[in-house]
Amino acid sequence: MTATTATLQTLHVDDVHHVVPTVQGDLTLLHGASFTIAAGETAAIMGRSGSGKTTLLSIVGLMLRATRGEVVIAGQPTSRLSDAERARLRNQTLGFVFQGYSLVPHLTAAENVALPLSYGPAVSSAERRAAAQLLEMVGLGHAARRYPRHLSGGEQQRVAIARALVRSPGLLLADEPTGALDVATGEAVLDLLLDVARARGTSVLVVTHDEAVAARTGRRLLIVEGRLSEDQAACAP
Ligand SMILES: Nc1ncnc2c1ncn2[C@@H]1O[C@H](COP(=O)(O)OP(=O)(O)OP(=O)(O)O)[C@@H](O)[C@H]1O
């Protein structure tokens, strides 16, 4: 891969297989998944419950090692990296949004957004300002001092989105980000996530089984029993 293509590809997944041992013998959860996400691209991974979506997202998010295949993030092949190197790359290049918000209950909204900054080098005043700005961007500047228990589900997910973007990741990974919200709130939160990510040039890979969520992204990948393909039906006129 040349340096130019590497910088244009936020993510390259090459022939990823994942096999887990079970009492009945080895179970293959992923059968050679391959795809590329370009810089600034938004895509959805769709599939039924149990098809392997979360397994694939965990591998892309460097939380799980694939049995075979390669995941290249921002031009960096990851399969041979140590756990510490993978953790560093994850903190530098990836942001995460989950269904359950996963905010720290005893920290305010502003403190939750700034939390990822504390994992790296000392926080600069510019980074603190950026965290405050992000809270404004998700429409919660007025709620900076509130604790998660005093925010609605939609508001908590907006805080989680701001937190995921605070270190300016190249790629945002979202696993069923609207799954715990009612339809209207979910749509508003997803639109916000995509708008804020686009404004910052961040690629987005969202796992969902919701057609309405997938329709808002630029591209759909379909996973059926661990086999991934482009969703051609979605591309049809
Ligand atoms: N470590 C494991 N050992 C055995 N089976 C596993 C393991 N991890 C996942 N599975 C199984 O692999 C399949 C795929 O799981 P995965 O969580 O990736 O599916 P999913 O598409 O995200 O499902 P959902 O939409 O319900 O969250 C499921 O049948 C799950 O039970």
Express each pLDDT in 103-120 by its tens digit: 999 999 998 998 888 766
Q: Residue 199: is its pLDDT beyond 80? A: yes
- C-alpha 54 to ligand 1 mean position (Å): 7
> How many other C-beta atoms are found inside a 10 Å radius of the C-beta of residue 68?
12
Q: Residue 143: is its pLDDT beyond 50? A: yes
The pTM score is: 0.89
Structure confidence at residue 235 (pLDDT): 45
Q: Residue 202: is its pLDDT beyond 90? A: yes
* Ligand 1 binding pocket mutation candidate from 55, 64, 208 (most atoms within 8 A of CB): 55
> How many other C-beta atoms are found inside a 10 Å radius of the C-beta of residue 183?
10
Contacts of 228 (CB under 8 A, 6+ apart): 30, 33, 34, 35, 45, 56, 221, 222
The predicted model gives 83-111 an average pLDDT of 91
The predicted model gives 61-69 an average pLDDT of 96
- C-alpha 43 to ligand 1 mean position (Å): 21
Identify the residues whose C-beta falls under 6 Å from ligand 1.
Answer: 20, 22, 27, 29, 47, 49-55, 209
Structure confidence at residue 121 (pLDDT): 62
Domains of the chain in start order, with CATH, are: 3-20+28-231 (3.40.50.300)
If pLDDT is split at 50, 70 and 90, which confidence band does 100 have?
A: confident
Structure confidence at residue 2 (pLDDT): 46
Residue with CA nearest ligand 1 atom 17:
54
